[in-house]
Amino acid sequence: MDVEELVTKYFSKLSENDLHIWRYISNHREEVANLSINELANRCTVSRTTIMRFAQKIGLNGYGELKTCLRWEESKAPSSKRSITAQVCENNIRTIKHYESMDFSEISSTLYHANNIFIYGTGSTQREVAVELQRNLLSVNIITFGLPGKGELIKSVNLLGEGDVLFAISKSGESDFLLEKVNRLKGKGVKIISITSNKNNRLASVSDFNLSANIEKFDLKNRFIYETMVQMFLVVEILSTKFIDQYFR
């Protein structure tokens, strides 16, 4: 049984950190097969203990056996690399299954009882995700306030208070500007729901709720990079339907 089959077999036991580690391994199999446990931990921004526990959760003795499995898979794999299409589809399906089984009741309750809901995205794609979330909630007559830029977020800090919710959508979760505003809002009793590329960032750590999306980068020929952001839209779609199922069905 290869590593991917093991991940599928023990999927229900895996945490967000475990899935983050697996995403990295899945996209860098040949590289990981030659990394030390400390090197992989640094690449995934987790502890070496977390790496060890991931290997044990999927039925292996430890990281050494994980590397052995990866090397064996590389040795028997065809010379052509796995297609980007296959990797993107596989990771999207895995994320959908993860969030389909996740309990959203507390997040949904927070939204349902919120006085006001504000949404802020740090970049162009993040703002498109914010617009999609606004559209989804409007379908059940919930009006939200989109903040199209930094100036609007600055002004809103003085408007929001206890009982309000801010969605903070950020790829890295490391914007000093956003973090400063989020911390001020938390001090006023505002609930923060963040959507980030993973849970290993400062925004996720200070949020009341965090939903992570696997934003993948693929190195192409001639130094081109292909980046997929679709999982942010998937997360928003599932959040919306979970909310609708709980309160409007």
The stretch 76-99 carries a mean pLDDT of 79
Residues 6 or more apart whose CB falls under 8 angstroms from that of 59 comprise 6, 9, 10
Q: Is the pLDDT assigned to residue 224 strictly greater than 90?
A: no
Pairing of the two strands 216-219 and 145-147: unpaired
Distance CA 249, CA 245 (A): 5
User: Given pLDDT bands bounded at 50, 70 and 90, which one contains residue 1?
Assistant: low
Residues 6 or more apart whose CB falls under 8 angstroms from that of 194 comprise 167, 168, 169, 170, 173, 203, 204, 207, 209, 210, 211
Rg (Cα) of the chain, in Å, rounded?
Answer: 20
Second CATH level (architecture) for the domain 3-82: Orthogonal Bundle (1.10)
- CATH 3.40.50.450 for domain 105-247: no
User: Do the beta carbons of residue 144 and residue 119 sit within 8 Å?
Assistant: yes
| pLDDT, tens only, 14-46 | 998 898 899 889 888 888 988 999 999 998 989
Distance CA 146, CA 120 (A): 6
What distance lies between CA 202 and its chain's CA centroid? 13
The 3-state DSSP class for residue 196 equals strand
User: Do the beta carbons of residue 62 and residue 56 sit within 8 Å?
Assistant: yes
| pLDDT, tens only, 126-182 | 999 999 999 999 999 999 999 999 999 999 999 999 999 999 999 989 999 999 999
Q: Could you state, in order of their start, the residue ranges of all structural domains in the chain?
A: 3-82, 105-247
Distance CA 172, CA 192 (A): 16
